[in-house]
Amino acid sequence: MSRFFIKSSLLYLLAGFTVGALLLMQKGWAFAPQIWLLLPFHIEIVIFGWILQLVMGTAFWMLPRFGETRGNEKTVWLAFLLINGGILLNLSAFFFHAALPALAGRVLEIGAVISFVVHAWPRVKPFAE
Amino acid sequence: MPILSRWFIKAGMLYFVFAMLLAVAANARGVWCFWHVLDFVQPVFYHALMVGWITQIIFGVSIWMFPRHTREQPRGSQRLGWATFYLLNIGLLMRIIAEPASVAAPSAIWNIALIFSAVLQWLAAIFYVFNIWKRVKGK
């Protein structure tokens, strides 16, 4: 599960830095001004795709366990699917300037956060318990 | 903690302090009129925070704590690790100088520096992902 989150976040890191590099190059050499339309795309990928997912994956890996198990993993799988679905919906909304997919994307993202918190909350405890 | 991780984390902390000082200075500029280049530092502030601090801390801690690659090369290629560190930091420093300067006093040299900065940081991301990918595995 952690590996899915972390590898997915690494792919978003690459995508985010690629778009970011194009935007920064644009400041030095105006080769395609329309590239600025990708700014919200860059922010979404870096914050939700790279940083948030990496934190979720690492937390799932490292938080104290319950003996041999990490508790209910279904909620974390749900979080993984929801956050990635949310990001993709938001990215499509930026391309098509559509309000509904943007709203749906944010709803999926908050669903991911709630689902993850439901999983992680009881694991925030001393290691020995 | 391996030396490369220490460099990433300490550099990250310096960027954190720098970013917050920059934020204070930019807000002070709103109160007292001095050093007009501070009007153009908002992108630098965000990137010092997100790339200089958060991304670098993640790089440093992951290089330290992720499962070993092999017994001989527990943390993957050291060369690639150091290349990531230098590319990211040189690229980011170039941006910190060139981005506000290119608005405050436009010049071809700043434009070239911005292009180089973009390429260096992009290469750093590629090197990091290439090196850490194989360490994202079960123990």
pLDDT digits (tens, 9 = 90+) for B50-90: 999 999 999 999 999 999 888 888 888 999 999 999 999 99
Is residue B109 less than 8 Å (CB to CB) from chain A? no
Residue at A128 is within a domain: no
Residue at A71 is within a domain: yes
Q: How many domains does chain A have?
A: 1
pLDDT of residue A129: 62
Query: CB distance B58–A54 less than 8 Å?
Result: yes
Q: Is A123 exposed, middle or buried (0-12, 13-18, 19+ CB in 10 A)?
A: middle
Residue at A75 is within a domain: yes
- Residue, of B100 and B40, whose pLDDT is higher: B100
Residues of A in contact with B136 (CB under 8 A): 3, 6-7, 10
DSSP line for B8-26? HHHHHHHHHHHHHHHHHHH
Using one digit for the tens of pLDDT, what is the confidence trace for A80-127?
A: 999 999 999 999 988 888 888 889 999 999 999 999 999 999 888 887
**Residues A68, A91: contact at Cβ < 8 Å?**
no
Reference B55, options B104, B106, B91; nearest CA is: B91
Q: Which residues contact B8 (CB under 8 A, 6 or more apart)?
A: B56, B57, B59, B60, B63, B85
Query: CB distance B133–A10 less than 8 Å?
Result: yes
Nearest CA in chain A to B111: A28
Residue at A129 is within a domain: no
Give me the interface pTM, i.e. the ipTM.
0.89
Residue at A119 is within a domain: yes
Distance CA B34, CA A112 (A): 45
pTM of the model: 0.90
In Å, how far is A105's CA from the nearest CA of chain B? 23
Residue B124 has pLDDT above 70, yes or no: yes
Q: Which residues contact A122 (CB under 8 A, 6 or more apart)?
A: A66, A71
pLDDT of residue B31: 76
Q: Which domain holds residue A79?
A: 2-123
Place of tokens 């830095």: A17
In Å, how far is B81's CA from the nearest CA of chain A? 16
Reference A28, options B92, B132, B114; nearest CA is: B114
User: How confident is residue B138, by pLDDT bands cut at 50, 70 and 90?
Assistant: confident
Radius of gyration of chain A from its Cα atoms, rounded to whole angstroms = 17
In Å, how far is A75's CA from the nearest CA of chain B? 21
Using one digit for the tens of pLDDT, what is the confidence trace for A13-64?
A: 999 999 999 999 999 998 899 999 999 999 999 999 999 999 999 999 988 8
Nearest CA in chain A to B56: A51
Is residue B26 less than 8 Å (CB to CB) from chain A? no
